[in-house]
């Protein structure tokens, strides 16, 4: 047991021994509001039109800024010493250095269903500005090899930047969302190669929403919980941290051998931060894979240099075909007006737009869609959540779902028909599944249109129904 876990155990035992009256239903929310009285005011245009661009975060400036002094609420002694102590301890837990100085807040009373817990996890991810953690992955490198555990250092920001570094060496990948550049370095154990890929799209269908291992651990959990609906939640302890756990059914890859993919996912969610601590995938009770988050630090400063892996020797340079642009520039170049949502879930703001006349990577299951032409891809971000709206020309060719799962996962999409916006009168497909990136796609006005991100079914449909040509 680590020193932090021993501290938490001692503190928990002391708390349980107190004779403390029950808190009111709004205690946690009121406490957090009072703790954050000195938070800087939001930008004046924070809730402006959904298409408004969000300025890029200057991480270096954040790193050099002095630590914010938190004002603890003044306590009335008439409330009793036990109550005052409980409030101070609660403030201590909310500000524990193990969570980087400012956690996004506890999740309140125990959720009754998986869907309720999924909504709270999504809300927690939406409020995070930076995340640092150790990601522990246990999996088979190939079906004929035994399980192997690898530890990574994971960095994520609400600007879309990500870095995944294998602890002990072997692999290091960093993605700069603002520039659309990915740098990857591997040592001799992984081929001793370095690559720099520029011209990347901000997300699906032209690029995944981050490294698959990290994405499954974060956004994938929220969608799995939402899909589980009314499944019950139970309270547990994981690594000394109070948590909730739930088991959900998982779709298997019919093209894989039995046991290579799981039929059940067991999800463990930290009660204090709302982050998924553990995903355990099993097949008939036998472990197939496991991913764990450890040493969480939330909203701690992340300087720019943290996202610059050192490349030994010359690197192979690749081009994903996209270039940064504005929606107006895309319209002028491609001769059609790109689509932008008139409605977005609260907190989302436009981050970056990238355009491509052609791309080297095809889309769809097994990459069988026609070549992409005149594509416009725009990311909207909220905390660690990303929503991507893309359009590309149909050119009279036959298209299938651009964001589809590999063919081995027999997940059936739902039919989605639209009465409003640019998609009015057309029907497409809606996919919300634990293994898939939630998305809607349709063909309308000579364009293949996709809306993809970790949203609920209702949110995806509403965003798609609000799409309209810019300008």
Q: Which residue has the tokens 């589809």?
A: 404
CA distance 469 to 384: 27
Chain mean position to CA 16: 35
In a domain, 29, yes or no: no
Specify the CATH number for the domain of residue 398.
3.30.200.100
Specify the CATH number for the domain of residue 152.
2.50.20.10
Residue 157 tokens, joined = 């920001």
Each residue of 271-329: pLDDT tens digit? Answer: 888 888 998 988 888 888 899 999 999 999 998 888 888 776 788 999 999 999 999 99
Instruction: Answer with the one of 264, 298, 332 that is the final residue of a domain.
Output: 298
> What average pLDDT does this structure show over 122-132?
90
What integer pLDDT is reported at residue 47 of this predicted model? 35
What integer pLDDT is reported at residue 432 of this predicted model? 79
Task: Kindly state whether residues 286 and 333 are assigned to the same domain.
Answer: no
Task: Kindly state whether residues 159 and 221 are assigned to the same domain.
Answer: yes
pLDDT at 111 exceeding the cut of 80: no
In a domain, 83, yes or no: no
Task: Kindly state whether residues 270 and 353 are assigned to the same domain.
Answer: no
Question: Strand, coil or helix: what is 376?
Answer: strand
CA distance 156 to 341: 26
Task: Kindly state whether residues 287 and 140 are assigned to the same domain.
Answer: yes
Rg of the chain over Cα atoms, rounded to whole angstroms, equals: 23
Residue 438 tokens, joined = 């939630």
What integer pLDDT is reported at residue 234 of this predicted model? 87
Residue-level length of the chain: 471
CA distance 198 to 16: 54
Closest among 195, 199, 150 to 179, alpha carbons compared: 199
Closest among 56, 52, 34 to 347, alpha carbons compared: 52
Number of neighbours of residue 410 by Cβ within 10 angstroms: 11
Q: Which residue has the tokens 């869907």?
A: 115
Task: Kindly state whether residues 373 and 274 are assigned to the same domain.
Answer: no
- Average pLDDT of the chain? 76
In a domain, 62, yes or no: no
- Are 301 and 66 in contact by the 8 Å Cβ rule? The answer is no
- Are 451 and 440 in contact by the 8 Å Cβ rule? The answer is yes
Q: Which residue has the tokens 């990577």?
A: 361
Comparison of pLDDT for 37 and 209, the residue scoring more: 209
What integer pLDDT is reported at residue 33 of this predicted model? 53
- Are 382 and 427 in contact by the 8 Å Cβ rule? The answer is no
Strand 349-358 to 323-324 pairing: antiparallel
In a domain, 311, yes or no: no
What integer pLDDT is reported at residue 30 of this predicted model? 56
In a domain, 431, yes or no: yes
- Are 352 and 393 in contact by the 8 Å Cβ rule? The answer is no
What integer pLDDT is reported at residue 192 of this predicted model? 67
Task: Kindly state whether residues 277 and 399 are assigned to the same domain.
Answer: no
Instruction: Answer with the one of 265, 298, 331 that is the final residue of a domain.
Output: 298
CA distance 299 to 238: 22
**What's the pLDDT band for 151 if we cut at 50, 70, 90?**
very high
Q: For residue 369, give the DSSP letter.
A: S
- Are 198 and 356 in contact by the 8 Å Cβ rule? The answer is no
What integer pLDDT is reported at residue 226 of this predicted model? 74
Residue 5 tokens, joined = 């876990």
In a domain, 125, yes or no: yes
- How many domains does the chain contain in total? 2
Comparison of pLDDT for 253 and 338, the residue scoring more: 338
Task: Kindly state whether residues 293 and 331 are assigned to the same domain.
Answer: no
Task: Kindly state whether residues 264 and 360 are assigned to the same domain.
Answer: no
What integer pLDDT is reported at residue 403 of this predicted model? 87
CA distance 133 to 300: 11
Domain encompassing residue 333? 320-469
Task: Kindly state whether residues 243 and 360 are assigned to the same domain.
Answer: no
- pTM for this prediction: 0.74
Task: Kindly state whether residues 343 and 286 are assigned to the same domain.
Answer: no
> Where does 140-249 show beta strands of DSSP type E?
148-157, 162-166, 171-176, 181-186, 194-198, 234-238, 241-249
What integer pLDDT is reported at residue 160 of this predicted model? 92
In a domain, 204, yes or no: yes
Task: Kindly state whether residues 286 and 335 are assigned to the same domain.
Answer: no
pLDDT at 139 exceeding the cut of 80: yes
Comparison of pLDDT for 108 and 20, the residue scoring more: 108
Task: Kindly state whether residues 272 and 377 are assigned to the same domain.
Answer: no
Give buried/exposed letters for 290-321 (b at 16+ CB in 10 A, else e). bbbbeebbbbbbbeeebbebebeeeeeeeebb
Give buried/exposed letters for 378-407 (b at 16+ CB in 10 A, else e). bbbbbbbbbbbbbbbbbeeeebebbbbbee
Instruction: Answer with the one of 298, 331, 355 that is the final residue of a domain.
Output: 298
- Are 1 and 240 in contact by the 8 Å Cβ rule? The answer is yes
Each residue of 195-214: pLDDT tens digit? Answer: 999 999 999 999 987 766 66
Each residue of 329-383: pLDDT tens digit? Answer: 999 999 999 999 999 999 999 999 999 999 888 898 778 899 999 999 999 999 9
* Residues 6 or more apart in contact with residue 147 via CB below 8 angstroms: 138, 139, 140, 287, 289
């Amino acid at each position: 047991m680590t020193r932090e876990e021993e501290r938490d155990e001692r503190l928990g035992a002391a708390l349980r021994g107190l004779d403390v009256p029950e808190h009111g239903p709004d205690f946690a929310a009121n406490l957090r509001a009072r703790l954050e009285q000195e938070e800087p005011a939001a930008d004046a245009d924070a809730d402006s039109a959904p298409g408004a661009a969000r300025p890029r975060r200057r991480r270096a400036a954040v790193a050099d800024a002095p630590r914010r002094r938190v004002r603890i609420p003044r306590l009335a002694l008439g409330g009793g010493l036990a109550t005052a102590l409980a409030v101070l301890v609660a403030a201590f837990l909310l500000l524990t250095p193990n969570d980087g100085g400012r956690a996004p807040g506890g999740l309140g009373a125990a959720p009754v269903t998986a869907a309720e817990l999924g909504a709270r996890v999504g809300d927690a991810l939406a409020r995070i500005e930076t995340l640092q953690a150790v990601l522990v992955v246990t999996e088979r490198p190939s079906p004929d090899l035994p399980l192997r555990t690898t530890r990574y250092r994971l960095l994520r920001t609400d600007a879309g930047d990500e870095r995944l570094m294998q602890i002990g060496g072997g692999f290091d990948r960093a993605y700069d969302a603002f520039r659309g550049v990915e740098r990857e370095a591997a040592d001799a154990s992984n081929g001793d190669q370095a690559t720099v890929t520029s011209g990347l799209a901000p997300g699906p269908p032209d690029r995944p929403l981050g490294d698959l291992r990290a994405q499954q651990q974060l956004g994938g959990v929220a969608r799995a919980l939402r899909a589980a609906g009314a499944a019950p939640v139970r309270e547990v302890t994981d690594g000394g941290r109070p948590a909730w756990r739930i088991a959900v059914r998982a779709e298997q890859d019919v093209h894989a051998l039995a046991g290579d993919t799981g039929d059940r996912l067991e999800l463990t969610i930290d009660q204090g931060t709302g982050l998924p601590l553990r995903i355990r995938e099993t097949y008939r009770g036998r472990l197939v894979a496991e991913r764990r988050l450890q040493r969480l630090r939330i909203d701690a400063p992340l300087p720019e240099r943290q996202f610059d892996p050192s490349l030994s020797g010359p690197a192979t340079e690749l081009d994903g075909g996209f270039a940064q642009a504005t929606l107006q520039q895309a319209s002028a170049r491609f001769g059609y007006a790109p689509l932008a949502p008139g409605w977005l879930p609260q907190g989302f703001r436009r981050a970056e737009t990238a355009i491509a006349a052609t791309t080297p990577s095809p889309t769809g299951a097994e990459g069988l869609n026609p070549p992409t032409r005149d594509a416009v891809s725009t990311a909207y971000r909220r905390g660690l959540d990303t929503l991507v709206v893309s359009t590309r020309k149909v050119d009279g060719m036959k298209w299938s779902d651009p964001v589809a799962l590999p063919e081995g996962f027999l997940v059936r999409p739902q039919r989605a028909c639209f009465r409003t916006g640019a998609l009015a009168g057309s029907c497409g497909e809606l996919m919300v599944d634990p293994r898939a990136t939630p998305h809607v796609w349709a063909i309308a006005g000579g364009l293949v249109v996709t809306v993809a991100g970790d949203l609920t079914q209702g949110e995806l449909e509403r965003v798609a129904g609000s799409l309209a040509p810019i300008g």
